[in-house]
Amino acid sequence: MAEQSRQPRNPENSNNESKRKGTFAAQQARRAIAEAKEALARAKESGSGTAISNAEKAVTEAEADLAGLREGSKGDRRTARREFVQEYYDNYGPYIAQLVKEDSELRDLLQEAISNGWDATTYDQELKKTDWWQDTNKTNAWLDAFRREFGDDPGGEWNNTLEGATDTVRDIAARYNASLTDDALQRIARRSIYEGWDEREFQEWFASRVERDLDRGTYEIGGTIESKANTLRGLARDFGLSYSEDWFTRRANSLLNPEARVTDDDVINDMIREAESPYPVFKGRLSANNTLRDAAGSYIGQMAQLLEMPDASQIDLKDPLLTKAFNSVMDDKGPAMMSLWDFQREIRKDDRWQQTNNAYQTYTNIGTNLAKMMGFSG
């Protein structure tokens, strides 16, 4: 319970120092301006024209917000304050809005601050009298974060926490090849602190962002997603399957997203089922460690040798020669593989074999033997 009784305050009763500081909304507006100017300074240090332009725009908008709080009639200013405070909290994410909605004491306090145009000092004083603030048994992440950021001793601890969270966001963003401004990094970091994110929730947030950008056609693959997509491409190729680039990217993203509940085994089992469908002879024989390319290794090796292909791994598993070898034989037990002897004969019937040195030598030997048989050669 609160140790002090909180009574409604009116700005008319605030001391002169508080009046000079201005309303709570104005204080927040000045803070927004200061943050925007800091972001502009960082952008100038980076030398990025786009970052500088965006930061300059943010400064202009923040200054315009403050001007709107100072100008116009009393009613207009009150409306501006209300809209600003709502926008201020919305910008920092749903955790603040949800916090106010769920706690009637905070909801009443915020409404009182907006209606009466409290200064920042009054708002802080009244906030710290609430049961919500003084209940030390609460372990909610947003309460802990709020106390660190706006408590009696803000600064070092909060700044260190925010810096650590920002580094985490930056590292995970690199995995997803997500390009974020410093301002965006800090907004996400701040939200993660208030909502108490763990590694899983960071991954879920970035995965949802990738899905959004894929839907918009703006995502550029990179980082861990690209590495995972490349692994999937290799597996698909070794199982004789073809997918779109979008499929590889989305599947890789789902594998990195805990919320999707998709595992590597799930993807591989799906591929196995698809690979077995056109080739029943391989049913029950394929696995992550024995792909279609592995199971057909002897036939692929024969093709590479007779067709004089330097890289057997480049042979397409949908090549008509292989398709015939896998599907053309039935025995009393069902589908069976063509014998390697018969497969060699099929290769020599292929037009590609006719262009090889192997064919030339074969025909030369046949010609020589015929000549000998007819007595034209000694």
Going by DSSP bridges, is the β-strand pair 329-331/334-336 parallel, antiparallel, or unpaired?
A: antiparallel
Per-residue confidence (pLDDT) for residue 365, from 0 to 100: 58
Per-residue confidence (pLDDT) for residue 373, from 0 to 100: 59
> Which of 106, 134, 162 is the last residue before a domain boundary?
134
Per-residue pLDDT of 157-187, as tens digits, reads: 888 888 899 999 999 888 888 888 888 888 8
DSSP-assigned states of every residue in 37-96: HHHHHHHHHHT-HHHHHHHHHHHHHHHHHHHHHHSS-HHHHHHHHHHHHHHHHHHT-HHH
How many Cβ atoms sit within 10 Å of the Cβ of residue 15?
A: 10
The answer as to whether 142 is a domain residue is no
* Residue ranges for the chain with pLDDT beneath 50: 1-21, 92
Domain that holds residue 375: 296-378
The answer as to whether 373 is a domain residue is yes
Per-residue pLDDT of 233-282, as tens digits, reads: 999 999 999 999 999 999 999 998 888 888 999 999 999 999 999 888 89
Half-sphere exposure of 316 (CA within 13 A, CB side): 7
Per-residue confidence (pLDDT) for residue 144, from 0 to 100: 78
> Which of 76, 104, 134 is the last residue before a domain boundary?
134
> Which of 134, 163, 189 is the last residue before a domain boundary?
134
The answer as to whether 345 is a domain residue is yes
Per-residue confidence (pLDDT) for residue 21, from 0 to 100: 45
The answer as to whether 331 is a domain residue is yes
Total residues found in the chain within this entry: 378
User: How many domains are contained in the chain?
Assistant: 2
- Supply the pTM of this predicted model: 0.58
